[in-house]
Amino acid sequence: MIAIGIGGAIGLMGGRTANAVVSYTSHRPAPGDRRFVSPAVEAEIARVTAAIGDPELAWIFGNCYPNTLDTTVEMSTVDGKPDAFIITGDIPCLWLRDSSAQVLPYLHLARDDEALRTLFRGLIARQARCILIDPYANAFMRDPTAKTDLVWARNDLTEMKPGVAERKWELDSLCWPMHLAQRYWNATKDAAPFDEPWAQAMRAAIRTMREQQRIDGPGPYSFQRNGASATETLVLSGMGAPTRQVGLIHSMFRPSDDACTYPFLIPSNIFAASALRGMAQVAGEARGDAELASLATTLAAELEVALRRYGRKPGPDGKPVWAYEVDGFGNALLMDDANIPGLSSLAYLGCVPRDDVLWRRTQAMCWSGHNPYFFRGKEGEGIGGPHVGLGMIWPMSIIMHALNSDSDAVIRHCLLMLKGTDAGTGFMHEAFQADDPLRYTRSWFAWANGLFGELMLDLARRKPAIVARSLL
C-alpha cells in the first residue's frame, strides 16, 4: 500500500507533535500472511476508504475493519463441515461474545460472498459445540480436549472441563450466539448452520438460563478465584450476592468479565429477552422447530414481565431509567460499563428502538457524571469500568456514542477523539488513560477494531457529509 505523508497539525489529541509527518502505511499483514480473505470485504474497504475525506481516519479504517479476518480466524473442518475458531486478538482463545461481535461488521456482505458464508457457518457450528461442552463457560480452547492455557484460570475453584478456557458465567455469553444466528439468518436465509447440534446447543442454553433464574434452588454453578481483585471472584462460597427470585436470570459476571455487584444484570437480561425471540424466529423458520421456538419465547415473555417490574429505578431527576444491576430486594446500581451489552448499547443490539424515551433517558445518564465510570480528561471523554481502573476510557464507548447519535457535532467530536487517541498505532485499544492516550491497554483487540469499522460503514451510509470532510 502506498504511504501517504501528511505535514502540519495532524491531530487535536494524542500527544502528537505539530508539524510532524505521519506515514499512513497500511498495518495489515502482507496478503500471504492474512488468515482469511474475502473479496467482498476487500471491495468494501476500497469503497468506504474512498468516501472518507480525512486521510488519518481512512488509514485507521483500512487497518481496523479487516483486522478480525486478517489476524484472528483459524479455519478447518469438523465432520466434513466448516469450523471457524476466532480468537480475541492477544488472548488466543474464543469468547462466545467477542467472536460473535467480531464478525458482525461483515454480515451485510455474506449473502453474495461464499467465503464469508463459510466463515459464518463455521463459527455458528463451533459456538454450538462450545455450548455443548459447558454452557456456563465464557471462553474456549481450540482443542476441545485441552486444559486451559490461561494462567489466571488454571486454579479456579469451579468445574473446569476439557476445552474450557475460562468458566465465568455471563448471561450474555449465551445471548450472543442466538443474536448472531438471527442476524445471519435474516441476512442470508441460509439454513445450513441450523442443524441438530445447533438446536441441542440452543436447548442447553435455555436450560442454563432457566437454572439461573434460581426459582427452585441455587443451581449447579459456583466460582471462586484466588487473587488480589475482588472483581475476579464471587462472594458467599462462589454463589454470588443474595437475590430475591423474581424471574430474572442471574449473571455472575459482566461482559467485561468483572463480577456483578448485584446478580440481576439488567442489560444482559434485556439482551436475553431479545436474543431468545430472535433465536425462536430461526428455530421456526430455518428448522420448523416449533417446540424450541416455544421454549425460547416463553422464557423471553417471563423476562419482559420481570424487567418491567424490577429493572427500572428513579434516575437523578426522579424519572425512571434502566438500572444496571438489581437484586430483587430493591437495591440497585445506577451506572454503565463500556462493554456490550451495556445500557448504552441496547439500541445497537436491536433490543430497543433508537427513539425509545426510557432508553434515551438512560443513555444520557450513562454519558454523564451521574455514571461513576464516565471519565473526562484532557484527551477525551467516555465510559470505562472497573476492569482496567479509574480514568481509563474504552474507545468502544466512544464508538457506541457516535452510533447512538444523530447530531453532526457529537459524531464529529467522537471521530476526533477516536483518531486522536490511537497513540499513533492506527488501531483501537481496549482502553486509554483520559489524560494520556499513550497509556493504553491491549494493542491487539480485534472486537474494538471491528466496531470502529462498523461505525465508519454506518456513517458512510447515514452521515456521508461528515465522513467526506477532513477533521484536520
Average pLDDT over residues 75-81: 97
**Is 109 contained in some domain?**
no
| Residue 183 to residue 179: CA distance in whole angstroms | 6
**Is 450 contained in some domain?**
no
Query: pTM for this one?
Result: 0.95
Length of the chain, please?
472
**Is 422 contained in some domain?**
no
Residue 21 burial class via C-beta count within 10 angstroms: exposed 0-12, middle 13-18, buried 19 and up: exposed
Identify which of 158, 171, 112 has the alpha carbon closest to the alpha carbon of residue 342.
171
**Is 273 contained in some domain?**
yes
**CATH number (domain holding residue 201):** 1.50.10.10
What are the tens digits of pLDDT across the range 342-363?
999 999 999 999 999 999 999 9
Would you say residue 6 has pLDDT above 80? no
Pair 339, 388: CB distance under 8 Å: no
Total domains in the fold of the chain: 1
**Is 385 contained in some domain?**
no
**Is 439 contained in some domain?**
no
Average pLDDT over residues 182-210: 98
Lookup result for grid cell 489466571: 152
Pair 383, 371: CB distance under 8 Å: yes
**Is 163 contained in some domain?**
no
Domain of residue 222 covers 173-372
Pairing type for strands 436-441 and 392-393 reads unpaired
What are the tens digits of pLDDT across the range 218-268?
999 999 999 889 999 999 999 999 999 999 999 999 999 999 999 999 999
Q: What is the pLDDT of residue 3?
A: 29
DSSP string computed for 291-328: HHHHHHHHHHHHHHHHHHHHSEEE-TTSSEEE-SEE-S
DSSP string computed for 138-191: SEE-SSTTPPP--GGGTT-BS-PPTTEEE----HHHHHHHHHHHHHHHHHH---
DSSP string computed for 99-110: HHHHHGGGGGGG
**Is 259 contained in some domain?**
yes
Average pLDDT over residues 116-140: 98
Q: What is the pLDDT of residue 228?
A: 84
